[in-house]
Amino acid sequence: MADVILRNISKRFGAIEAVRELSLAVNDGDFLVLLGPSGAGKTTTLRLITGLEQPDSGSVMINGRDVTLDPPGSRDIAFVFQQYSLYPHLTVYDNLAFPLRSPARRVPEPVIRKRVEQTAELLHIASKLNNRATRLSGGEMQRVAIGRALVRDPSIYLMDEPLSSLDAKLRAELRLELKRIQLELGATVLYVTHDQVEAMTMATRIGVIRDGRLLQIGTPREIYENPTDSYVASRLGTPQINLLPARVLSEIALPAGTETVGVRTEHLQLAARNGGPLVGRVHRVEHLGEQNHVHLDYKGQMLVTLADPREALQAGQEIELHLMHPLYFDGAGQRIPAATH
């Protein structure tokens, strides 16, 4: 295992700047997740690391060695794609053994057997080794695809939305499995996704990426609790953070330059009217089982907050709002530190 460093990488496709001056270090044992919408430059970044694309400028270092101009085959990387592409005519065993049987590697068959069996054990597919790859469920196929990367012992595993073609239940299961395997192996992983839940639940660190730029990098908790700009704040958390224009909050003191105030749903608290300055009206109460989402109208702005399902709230009711831990952003969306209290 090893670390991967990107220095000021840029890549342009015609008029489109896919990746702009991106610098990033994936440390040994890191599970780094690049989170961003489609077109943000996530997949291009992965392809630049593999050598499937060449950067226009900047360098890629793997294990302290500059590999920017090396061909993909010599980079010691394993890649897991979104679509599991298994060899349908081979058994699970042969699919897993395939990367080790490459003529360039010359791994002796007993060693292959050992690696394949260990990997199958790790992925809980040991009982399926003799099955044809096509006779597996979707989740099992994706495990085999991940397993094919794991049988090798590369410097880094690159994963491009490997769970996105699975249904919700399977995705939740494999999230846990993947995290467990990464911890057990101490593997270094760079994983890209547009799914914030995958990022929050698996990452040791998240890099939020947009328009080819890395906006913020940190632990899930840092990114969630301490976003540096309003886009990052809105990228994490369901329901999304409430973003209010400062002009509707003239009743309360805001730091100079504040244009937008962000309040996470769990920090927007409701109380019966009691002379407080912020009064909203309940628009709709959404019952989602373990909690209610209360949609509020505050001076024409739609806000969402969480409430206990047993709390009696009626559409049309007037209610007092209290903002806990508000986040302040300037006109460019940059975070303004709160005044010291």
Partner 1 sequence: MAQIRVENLRKSFDQFTAVEGSNFTIDDGTFFAMLGPSGCGKTTTLRMIAGLELPTEGKILLDGKDVTFDRASARDIAFVFQLFALYPHMNVAGNIGFPLKCQGMGRREIRQRVEETARLLRIEHLLSSKTSKLSGGDRQRVALGRAMVRRPKAFLMDEPLGALDAEFRHLMCGELRDLHDRIGATTIYVTHDQLEAMSMADQIAVMNKGRVEQISSPQEIYDRPASMFVADFIGSPPMNFLRFEGGLHCGDRAISFHDTDIIVPEIREDRASAPLVLGVRPEHIRFTDAAPVRGEVFGAEYLGTTQIVTVDTAHGRVAARLPSAMPVRVGETVGLEFHSERLALFDAGSGLAIRTANGGGVRHG
Cα–Cα distance for residue pair 239/306, rounded to 1 Å: 9
Cα–Cα distance for residue pair 321/279, rounded to 1 Å: 6
| Segment 48 to 87, residues that bind partner 1, using CB under 8 A | none
165, 240, 269, 301: which one binds partner 1 (CB under 8 A): 240
Q: Specify the 3-state DSSP secondary structure of 264.
A: coil
52, 111, 176, 248: which one binds partner 1 (CB under 8 A): 176
Residue 91 carries which DSSP code?
A: B
224, 298, 328, 329: which one binds partner 1 (CB under 8 A): 224
Question: Shortest gap between Cβ of 229 and partner 1 (angstroms)?
Answer: 17
> For partner 1, how many residues bind (rule: CB under 8 A)?
35
Question: Shortest gap between Cβ of 197 and partner 1 (angstroms)?
Answer: 7
CB 46 within 8 A of CB 192: yes
| Contact flag: residue 236 with partner 1 (CB under 8 A) | yes
Q: Please state at what angle helix 168-185 crosses helix 138-150, rounded to 10 degrees.
A: 20
| Contact flag: residue 39 with partner 1 (CB under 8 A) | no
| Contact flag: residue 201 with partner 1 (CB under 8 A) | yes
Query: 241 burial class (0-12, 13-18, 19+ CB within 10 angstroms)?
Result: buried
* CA 329-335-340 angle, 5° bins: 100
Q: Which stretch binds partner 1 (CB under 8 A): 27-35, 73-81, 95-103, 178-186?
A: 178-186
| Contact flag: residue 165 with partner 1 (CB under 8 A) | no
Q: Which stretch binds partner 1 (CB under 8 A): 76-84, 127-135, 154-162, 279-287?
A: 279-287
| Contact flag: residue 197 with partner 1 (CB under 8 A) | yes
Cα–Cα distance for residue pair 240/147, rounded to 1 Å: 35
CB 52 within 8 A of CB 77: no
Two tokens at 32?
Answer: 């780094």
Give the residues lining the site for partner 1 (CB under 8 A): 168-169, 172, 175-176, 179-180, 183, 194-195, 197, 200-202, 220-221, 224, 236-240, 264-266, 284, 286-290, 293, 295, 306, 309
